[in-house]
Structure 1
Amino acid sequence: MPSLLKAGSKILSVVLAISTIALIPAPVSSYAGNHSADGSTEFAPSRVATSKNLSSPDDLESRLESVSPGYVQPPIDPSYLLQGGSSPLLTRTTASFPSCYDLREQQEICEAVRNQAAWGTCWAFAAVGSAESSLYPEDTTVFSPRHLAYFAYNGAANPHTPEDGTAGDTFHPWSYPSNDSRFYWYPWYEFGGNTFLATATLARIGVQTEEVVPYPESYQYFGTEIDSFGTPALKDAYTALYGNVSETFHFTAPYRLVESNYLPTRDSFGNLNGNAIKQALLEGSCIVVAYASNQYNTYTLPNGEQIVAQAYNGPNRVAVNHEVQIIGWNDTIPKESFCTSWTNGEPTGNMPSNDGGWLIRNNWGNHWGMDGCFYLSYEDSSISETCQFIASADPSYDHLYQYDGTGWNTTVGIRDKPTAPVSMANVFTATGQQSIQAVSFYTTMPDAQYSIQVYTGLQESDVPDSGVPAFFKEQKGWEPYAGYHTIALQQPVSIQSGEPFSIVVKLENPTSNGLTDSNGPIYPIACEGNGPCNGIFSDAAIAPGQSFLRGSNGTWLDLADFQESTYVSSGIHNLTLGNVCLKAFTTDEPLGSVTYATGNGLDKL
């Protein structure tokens, strides 16, 4: 008999509004406000949609036999990310891929299926599992979901590295006010997350190993007393080992996040197309996917093999409540296996139009499903956040300059012109004689184009391009998928101790069939949001002279000037802007090394 896990979710999508001076009120359902000035560029960011909270069983036994809620909708409505751009992969024929594929059979992932047990950490298991697979089998290190979950909600700047400007940045696992946390044993393990939360945290502090920060993957570690979320407490004997994570391990992660790519499930015309995911699987990476965990069917194939399949959630969009990993596919899985009901052994309920489904590795242990796995229809309407995480231990950088501790919460751009290019900049002060080796930032749509310039020796702290440009021409490129990207500089740039420098990145989204999320246009700049949003409180501290925006012909705008302005306000949502999402990676340079300065200022943004 199919089992039922209670479903529910929370949805928030944001597009704020920023430009230059005076606040102009606007309806909460679209924009809470915007800033504009005569003759200047007007910028715009995000919008809001909400739904009910996740439900959970009151009874402990039922709680232990099912799974804790572990997913909350991100600040950005991620549904638009399922539609692809112009990647050549999306034009390849289905025949160019095998009809079925399983990473386990290719020995491209560890066969063990982990168990999130009593905590709502599915999102953390999925993210670190995908990151692990990007290194396997050459590196078989197991990553720690507990380290990710704990420090997502207990973030702080590294006290040993003054270039880490994320002080005051963290997420809180409760709605405002924060004292709601008194009702939970460990809210950072219980409340849940998503790929946006995972990316922001892993990009900030790196990826830690399971050996250093282990996870309690058995119910034997939990007692019978439950909190208001329905979660059992750790037994006293295990609180020291599995409870709060020591600050000793906060900034010692040996691996870093290189990429988190949102791979489409449809082409630019909206037609079902999983080629990008299939190609990533063939290359050895499993993919995070969010979906609506509900009814599971046991179905017997014509050859006698029994499979487990998630009952069809489509065709209409439904609330998401769980996050797992795609580890393969099978084009021949019968559509009937996904049917929602049968009468006299015949399918009579809803089911997909076509055969085929993704092979999913769950986080509920090997004893569940098909050795811990199940199938999810290609057509399931709940599929969301199909994201590939790529980790690396090489090259290692000595310093990380950053302000965006909470990552991509909203998009910012020129109002009503989502494809117009916008420049963002972060101004930093060098903490030693170093060499800038790479930068990282998000692209918010597929096929985004970027250009990078570095300015050293800034003459004016509030003018990011008032120094010496490092490159005669900007370093340019494009990204086929939205997500977080680390870009190595074609030529390193030297900086001297105490020297102010800036990273300037211009981003432009394509005119690709007017891709939008459910509430409005997508703008090119990823930015933090500060305030309560969808039950998670995002603290995104910002100070003057850190982050700037500029249109093609405008002046630089300091985002700290808009810190006190509310951009989205509707009930529990009350957001202001934080920093733009832009980092710089450096290595130490020996004294007397060459300083690079190849530009002459003739090729400004």
Structure 2
Amino acid sequence: MSKIFRKSAYLALTLIFIFTLAGQSFASALKPAPLNPKFVEWYGGQATSGKTRSSGAGKLNYGYAPSPVNWSHLGGLVYNIGSSSSSRRADTLPASYDLRSKMTAVKDQNPFGNCWAHSAMAATESFLIGRGLVSSTDIDLSEWYLTYFAYNPSNSVGAFTNNSEKPYYDYGADDWTAVALLSRGTGSVLESQAPVPASSKDVYAPLRTNRTYKLTNAWYLGNLGVKEVHLNDQRRDMIKRAIKEYGAVSVGIHFNEKDYYNEVTYGYMTNGSPSYTNHAVTIVGWDDSYSKDNFKESCKPNDNGAWIVRNSWGDWWGEGGYFYVSYEEPTLCDGVVYVTEQAPQNERIYEYDPLGLVQFIGYSKYGVESGSGSGETAPVWYANLFTAKGNDTLTSVAFYTSAPEQECEIKVYTGCDGSPISGKLVLTQKTTVAAPGYNTVVLDSHVKLTRHEKFSVVICTSSDKTGFVVPCEYAQDNYSENAVSHEGESWLSYDGVKFEDIADATLDSLPNANVCIKAFATLPGTSISLIPQSLEIDAGSKMTILALVTPQGTVVTWESSDTSVCTVDANGIVTALKAGNAVVTASTADNFAQCFVTVTGSPTPPTPAPTGGSSSGCSAGFAALALLALVPIILKKRS
């Protein structure tokens, strides 16, 4: 469709809406897409936890629970997400591709039902390794950090809903829960900062800490419940290109080891009878020549070829923790890549959607109810109005898109008073988002913000694949019941001129709704870093944390998150009291940095000081050299 024709269509449809919606609430004419049918089925009869992989009574589940997000409008669409030209040429795909040698060690989720966190972290680690940001031997991300904070509120941040009798670590989730957590800054953190408990008796609340890595994009490759066997070779190649350029892909599958797994060849394929997903795993490669004879006789595919898949049951299971899933496996679904970077040193997140995308909303008329392929729909505007917490610099925004090649126009206004376009327009930027999912857009020019001043991020978008294009968080039963919204936060418009507060609209089907737009800004003022970033100290001992601040002379205050574990005085001297973990925070007026402290052992009586000056001097000199040898910490600014 030409740009001229598209603009004409937009104008005509917009005029239709202006006359049709006159005298009624525009927001009330927006409806959510139908709920994910897998989500409806799941909460109609939840599967039984199968965290220990025993067959037991009821349906097995290893920690997968579907979200309400409905992607069925994507059908069997083929689209490219690769940034390089080589990723778009089919002739560049090898017959086999294997990332196993570049992956971290396979972990064992037992005894917990949190496969979703394992698959998300494996995909994240794979991306970081593939980009050369880390190696497979020096990266180990914490699955427990996601598992705990998914269903436990912290620091006024709401948690996802668990209305069952299952403990939070067995309740389950999927990629969109992981994306919501990571995009709000809850992870990724290192395993050393939130180690997995040894058993269900040892579960604990990890300390909230600054993320080490930041999720920037989470692109969706699947199309929900449409059986993989029905998809054409071009879409299979699309997933292969994604693996080659972005690393391992987190997917869902129905797994039944007893009935469908060949323990000799490590091949897996169901016979098509299972109708639900119960496990999250990670595709790390493929082998076009993997023999169809390697699968059980009762469920043998028609042709050779299999995905190489990483499980989360330890390296003792399968082929070093991996197995092979036929290209024709009918239960494979979802598919998300996790594009990640080193977390910025001084970033603040503005958001109203800590629980992330719950559903896309769109017009209740003009074709959106018919699903995909309904033709070009009229554009819709949605916006968030934020209050600047400091003299920050706005650098990027993030939002969800529902279709490939979705055109979006981003506008930023400052000095707003009332509606999101009541201020000064300071930036207009157009972009085409290649793939559906969570997307971060770096702004062409930075925007200076003034403390306490209101600013807005306004997005105009449409799609010829679906009319459900506005990403929304709201209080959905059995999922996001803890969603919160207030007047003056999120806005909607049919013409980009008249905006309606979503909180004022009568949206019975969207209680406590906000649109999903995040704004990322760098903080001003002082810089501060600590040496060391992490510290292990024996109970009864003392050690000094050095604060490096700019400008010199800036006042620094110190605080320990748990004074029963350790205290810290005004000079940064840490006194270890008992075994445990704590976070020591050094703060300036507008910035802060943290040191993760681990106290080991029990206090011991003091020993007499040695006599003789040479021994004392040597000890002091070694301590100073050890301090100088420590590498500088990444700056941790207030967010």
Fold shared per TM-score above 0.5: yes
Question: 1:40 deviation in Å?
Answer: 4.9
Q: Which has the higher contact order (CA 8 A, sep 6+)?
A: 1
Question: 1:55 deviation in Å?
Answer: 2.2
Which of 379, 388, 402 lines up with 2:337 in the alignment? 388
Does residue 524 (structure 1) correspond to residue 438 (structure 2)? The answer is: no
Q: 1:271 is aligned with what amino acid? A: N
Indicate if the aligned counterparts of 2:150 and 2:159 stay in contact, CA closer than 8 A.
yes
Does residue 289 (structure 1) correspond to residue 246 (structure 2)? The answer is: no
Indicate if the aligned counterparts of 2:265 and 2:295 stay in contact, CA closer than 8 A.
no
Indicate if the aligned counterparts of 2:81 and 2:242 stay in contact, CA closer than 8 A.
no
Does residue 45 (structure 1) correspond to residue 49 (structure 2)? The answer is: no
Structure 2 counterpart of 1:326: 283
Which residues of 2 match residues 43-442 of structure 1 at below 5 A?
43-48=30-35, 49=37, 50-51=40-41, 52-56=45-49, 69-80=62-73, 83-87=76-80, 94-105=90-101, 107=102, 109-110=103-104, 112-136=105-129, 137-139=132-134, 140-157=138-155, 167=156, 169-175=158-164, 183-184=165-166, 187-205=167-185, 206-216=187-197, 221-222=198-199, 233-234=200-201, 239=202, 243-246=203-206, 249-264=207-222, 271-272=232-233, 273-283=235-245, 285-295=247-257, 306-314=264-272, 318-339=275-296, 347=297, 349-417=298-366, 418=368, 419-442=377-400
CA spacing shift, 1:207–1:123, aligned 2, 3 Å:
same
CA spacing shift, 1:92–1:207, aligned 2, 3 Å:
closer
Query: How far apart, in 2, do the equivalents of 1:202 and 1:352 lie?
Result: 37
Indicate if the aligned counterparts of 1:397 and 1:585 stay in contact, CA closer than 8 A.
no
Q: Secondary structure at the match of 1:489?
A: strand
Structure 1 counterpart of 2:449: 495
Question: 1:170 deviation in Å?
Answer: 2.1
Which 10-residue stretch deviates more, 363-372 or 407-416? 407-416
Which of 522, 535, 558 lines up with 2:501 in the alignment? 558
Which of 404, 428, 434 lines up with 1:480 in the alignment? 434
Q: 1:546 is aligned with what amino acid? A: E
Query: How far apart, in 2, do the equivalents of 1:583 and 1:451 lie?
Result: 15
CA spacing shift, 1:406–1:37, aligned 2, 3 Å:
farther
Query: How far apart, in 2, do the equivalents of 1:115 and 1:124 lie?
Result: 12
CA spacing shift, 1:97–1:60, aligned 2, 3 Å:
closer
CA spacing shift, 1:61–1:424, aligned 2, 3 Å:
closer
Question: 1:307 deviation in Å?
Answer: 2.3
Query: How far apart, in 2, do the equivalents of 1:202 and 1:298 lie?
Result: 33
Q: 1:208 is aligned with what amino acid? A: V
Structure 2 counterpart of 1:582: 517
Structure 2 counterpart of 1:603: none
Q: Which runs of 5+ in 2 are unaligned?
A: 1-20, 369-376, 527-639
Q: 2:97 is aligned with what amino acid? A: Y
Query: How far apart, in 2, do the equivalents of 1:356 and 1:44 lie?
Result: 42
Does residue 469 (structure 1) correspond to residue 452 (structure 2)? The answer is: no
Query: How far apart, in 1, do the equivalents of 2:51 and 2:144 lie?
Result: 24
Query: How far apart, in 1, do the equivalents of 2:22 and 2:300 lie?
Result: 50
Question: 1:54 deviation in Å?
Answer: 0.7
Question: 1:251 deviation in Å?
Answer: 4.1
Question: 1:576 deviation in Å?
Answer: 2.4
CA deviation profile, 1:330-351 (whole Å, cap 9, x unmatched): 1112234344xxxxxxx3x344
Indicate if the aligned counterparts of 1:81 and 1:482 stay in contact, CA closer than 8 A.
no
Question: 1:468 deviation in Å?
Answer: 0.5
CA deviation profile, 1:35-87 (whole Å, cap 9, x unmatched): 99549572221324422211246999767xx9863011111234555733443
Which residues of 2 match residues 448-459 of structure 1 at below 5 A?
448-459=406-417
Q: Secondary structure at the match of 1:524?
A: strand
Indicate if the aligned counterparts of 2:246 and 2:337 stay in contact, CA closer than 8 A.
no
CA spacing shift, 1:353–1:557, aligned 2, 3 Å:
farther
Question: 1:484 deviation in Å?
Answer: 0.7
Structure 2 counterpart of 1:545: 488
Q: 2:180 is aligned with what amino acid? A: A
Query: How far apart, in 2, do the equivalents of 1:481 and 1:88 lie?
Result: 6
CA deviation profile, 1:60-115 (whole Å, cap 9, x unmatched): 9767xx9863011111234555733443879967543111111024x3x22x1111
CA spacing shift, 1:59–1:293, aligned 2, 3 Å:
closer
Question: 1:499 deviation in Å?
Answer: 0.6
CA spacing shift, 1:61–1:408, aligned 2, 3 Å:
closer
Q: 1:294 is aligned with what amino acid? A: N
CA spacing shift, 1:478–1:57, aligned 2, 3 Å:
closer
CA spacing shift, 1:313–1:416, aligned 2, 3 Å:
farther
Indicate if the aligned counterparts of 2:311 and 2:321 stay in contact, CA closer than 8 A.
yes
Query: How far apart, in 1, do the equivalents of 2:87 and 2:340 lie?
Result: 28
CA spacing shift, 1:156–1:426, aligned 2, 3 Å:
farther
Question: 1:378 deviation in Å?
Answer: 1.8
Question: 1:142 deviation in Å?
Answer: 1.0
Question: 1:434 deviation in Å?
Answer: 1.1
Question: 1:293 deviation in Å?
Answer: 0.6
CA spacing shift, 1:81–1:378, aligned 2, 3 Å:
farther
Q: Secondary structure at the match of 2:238?
A: helix
Query: How far apart, in 1, do the equivalents of 2:49 and 2:269 lie?
Result: 20
Q: Secondary structure at the match of 1:146?
A: helix
User: TM-score w.r.t. structure 2 length?
Assistant: 0.68
Indicate if the aligned counterparts of 2:270 and 2:329 stay in contact, CA closer than 8 A.
yes
Query: How far apart, in 2, do the equivalents of 1:59 and 1:487 lie?
Result: 42
Indicate if the aligned counterparts of 1:326 and 1:360 stay in contact, CA closer than 8 A.
yes
Question: 1:529 deviation in Å?
Answer: 2.4
Indicate if the aligned counterparts of 1:444 and 1:522 stay in contact, CA closer than 8 A.
no
Q: Secondary structure at the match of 2:250?
A: strand
Structure 2 counterpart of 1:230: none
CA spacing shift, 1:502–1:263, aligned 2, 3 Å:
same
Query: How far apart, in 1, do the equivalents of 2:316 and 2:501 lie?
Result: 54
CA spacing shift, 1:522–1:360, aligned 2, 3 Å:
farther
Question: 1:277 deviation in Å?
Answer: 2.2
Indicate if the aligned counterparts of 2:262 and 2:268 stay in contact, CA closer than 8 A.
no
CA spacing shift, 1:191–1:56, aligned 2, 3 Å:
closer
User: TM-score w.r.t. structure 1 length?
Assistant: 0.72
CA deviation profile, 1:527-576 (whole Å, cap 9, x unmatched): 0120323xx353110000001111236621211124x7431xxxxxxx62
Indicate if the aligned counterparts of 1:318 and 1:382 stay in contact, CA closer than 8 A.
yes
Query: How far apart, in 1, do the equivalents of 2:487 and 2:72 lie?
Result: 34
